[in-house]
Structure 1
Amino acid sequence: MTDALRVVLLGTAAGPYPAPGRQGCANAVVVGGRVYLVDAGYGTLGKYVSAELSLRDLGGVFVTHLHSDHVAELFTLFLLGWGPANQGVVDPVRVYGPGPDPTDPGPPAAGTEGLVAGNLAAFGQDVAVRQRTSDRPRLAGLIHATDLSAAAGAEIVVHEDDRVRVTARAVPHPPLHLALGYRFETEHGVVAFSGDTARSDAVGELAAGADLLVHEAMEPDFYRSIGYSPKLLDFLAASHTSPADVGRVAAAAGARRVALSHLGPCDPARLDDEGWLGRVRPHYSGPVVVGHDLLDLTV
């Protein structure tokens, strides 16, 4: 497809544990044929290829936060999709995401730069062999990782090129010190991504007047019905957004369309599309779609 602006929901599941029906969280923003990836959970590379997207067209990766269900295949994209064969990555790609927690009292856990560097070291033997035995550029030179920081309430410009301007805001996803939502502005339209977050004015600001808001949704009644403790339910409520609140956020922001993704429960047999839509529609009058893997939306 050659539409000027598309969003492909590559993976739409919440959480790291594999479940039927959906795979890990990942989204492709396609602007005039160039691909910008938001998150890379488990299954991302296979879904990327199934969507008939070329890694040669990858223009940037934007990580919302460093939970495993959002970065499990970040390095895999490059490790398995690198080099001139099969239209792999041959030009440097910028990868943006949260940095380490500056308040961590122990040895600081890796940020996005450290995550990439650690993977390069862990797969060093494989990488070295492939660089010696095939015609491909140095892998370390292709992944330009950047640690981001964002104060609460502040908007930061993350990336600009001839197709897109990307800004970010911190969103509440405790206990992580930083999770990000993103806004993609193009000449063809605006797309916003909530990332993982409790209901937040920051998402509303990112989504102000957007043509499409891709928002996470977690239904607390389901987790209550399967016996989650009050403590765990409180934790989920503090770090995720109910579908009803997604509707409220979208309405307040004036978003023209909403796609629900990062769905919990992720198995469609546990909560079907009408169940999701019925929770959003009382609070938002615009069009809503329920995310499924490989859903392709023209903006």
Structure 2
Amino acid sequence: MRKTYALLAALAAAGLQPAAAQDTVSPTGIASQWITLGTHGGPVPHADRAEPSNLLLTGSEVYLVDVGDGAANQMARVGVPLARLSGVFISHLHFDHTGGLGAVLGLRFQTEAQNTLTIYGPPGTRQLVDGLIASMRPGGEAGYGVPGEEVHDPSIGIEVIEWRGGETAVVGGMTVRNVENTHYSFTPDSPQYGRYASLSFRFDLPDRSILYTGDTAPSEAVDRLGQGVDLLVAEMIDLEGLLGAMGPARGDQAGGPPPLLIEHLRTHHITPSQIGEMAAAMDAGEVVVTHLVIGNAGREDWRRYEAEIGAHFDGTITIAQDLDGF
């Protein structure tokens, strides 16, 4: 069931902090929430939607699941302090899914967050984090510009765990499983083969289970991981709508984006119908659609997406907006 946090965002913009924002995380350790902080599939910025990021709240634990540009600001808009963040899950290393991580690390460092932040992600995540920490050192050494100020190490309190797919781990009060999906299709003769992976995550919480596809094409491994899941959070592409929004320079015409990009869009993402087939194969309880690569689509198109998903899946379907909660 959708719960919108737009009211909290409006109050925050007015300088108010409603009690509801303070109670976003249940102190009981039972209730969980999934908040779609950013729902636009990048990399081109969108005026009305932030880049892909999600907030998973369970008891007193706070996790980011992907961390697109603006994730820290979106957390503030729903009333969750950055200092409460204890973990980040990264599905893959495309910039629309990682662009906000530098701000999260830098702002935690500048505000002297005391807890350890663990970042879970595919191969290459450690190199990414090491680079971001290196970029923080000049600002950390400059500090507040006060003579005699102690210089702190920005790497303290940051841990990285890389997963290749197929791991199971207990993280806080939940069990997390992952599989390698089909967002990448490197062949054995390519230099990237075996070096990088795109992951889908399943979170088994005290009160329910959530499957986050990340970016993927149809995948039997993801279908198996999601068996019986309560909430399926899936990416989606409307390629024809996207190409139509490009006008005369649409990607399958001369002067448009390179064929390599069009091949990626056609073969490495899932359509509304494929989401429905995936949800049915999993016997999922509910579907939330995010990471929308949909051009200039509006509400009429949303109804069409819901109908195409619903042709295969008869449960609740929601095309998410920023700051929706489930």
- TM-score by length of structure 2 reads 0.79
Matching of residue 222 in structure 1 with residue 241 in structure 2: yes
Identity of aligned residues (%): 27
The code of the aligned residue for 2:125 comes to T
- Find the partner of 1:149 among 164, 186, 193: 164
Supply the distance in 2 between the matched residues of 1:165 and 1:174 (Cα, whole angstroms): 25
Rg larger in structure: 2
Supply the distance in 1 between the matched residues of 2:300 and 2:38 (Cα, whole angstroms): 17
Matching of residue 58 in structure 1 with residue 81 in structure 2: no
Cα gap change, 1:270 to 1:184, in 2 (>3 Å): same
Shift in Å, 1:188: 0.8
Matching of residue 11 in structure 1 with residue 56 in structure 2: no
Q: Is the 8 A contact 1:58 1:89 kept in 2?
A: no
Q: Is the 8 A contact 1:223 1:233 kept in 2?
A: no
The code of the aligned residue for 1:8 comes to I
Shift in Å, 1:266: 5.7
Aligned to 1:187: 206
**Structure 1: 5+ residue stretches without partners:** 100-110
Cα gap change, 1:186 to 1:78, in 2 (>3 Å): same
Cα gap change, 1:266 to 1:130, in 2 (>3 Å): farther
* Superposition map of 1:113-152 within 5 A: 113-130=126-143, 138-150=153-165
Aligned to 1:165: 175
Supply the distance in 2 between the matched residues of 1:278 and 1:196 (Cα, whole angstroms): 22
Instruction: Tell me the secondary structure at the aligned position of residue 216 of structure 1.
Output: strand
Cα gap change, 1:35 to 1:126, in 2 (>3 Å): same
The code of the aligned residue for 1:171 comes to N
Supply the distance in 2 between the matched residues of 1:272 and 1:140 (Cα, whole angstroms): 45
Shift in Å, 1:59: 2.0
The code of the aligned residue for 2:311 comes to P
The code of the aligned residue for 1:121 comes to A
Instruction: Tell me the secondary structure at the aligned position of residue 39 of structure 1.
Output: strand
Shift in Å, 1:257: 0.4
Aligned to 2:256: none
- String of CA shifts for 1:77-115, please: whole Å, max 9, x gaps: 0201336x5xx631111101111xxxxxxxxxxx11111
The code of the aligned residue for 2:88 comes to V
* Superposition map of 1:14-25 within 5 A: 14-25=41-52
Q: Is the 8 A contact 1:13 1:266 kept in 2?
A: no
Structure 1 runs (4+) greater than 2 angstroms displaced: 128-139, 174-177, 223-228, 230-235, 266-273
The code of the aligned residue for 1:293 comes to D
Supply the distance in 2 between the matched residues of 1:252 and 1:75 (Cα, whole angstroms): 37
Shift in Å, 1:121: 1.3
Farther off after superposition, 243-252 or 55-64: 55-64
* Superposition map of 1:45-84 within 5 A: 45-82=72-109
Aligned to 1:102: none
- TM-score by length of structure 1 reads 0.85
**Structure 2: 5+ residue stretches without partners:** 1-23, 187-195, 254-258
Count of matched residue positions in the alignment of Structure 1 and Structure 2 = 278
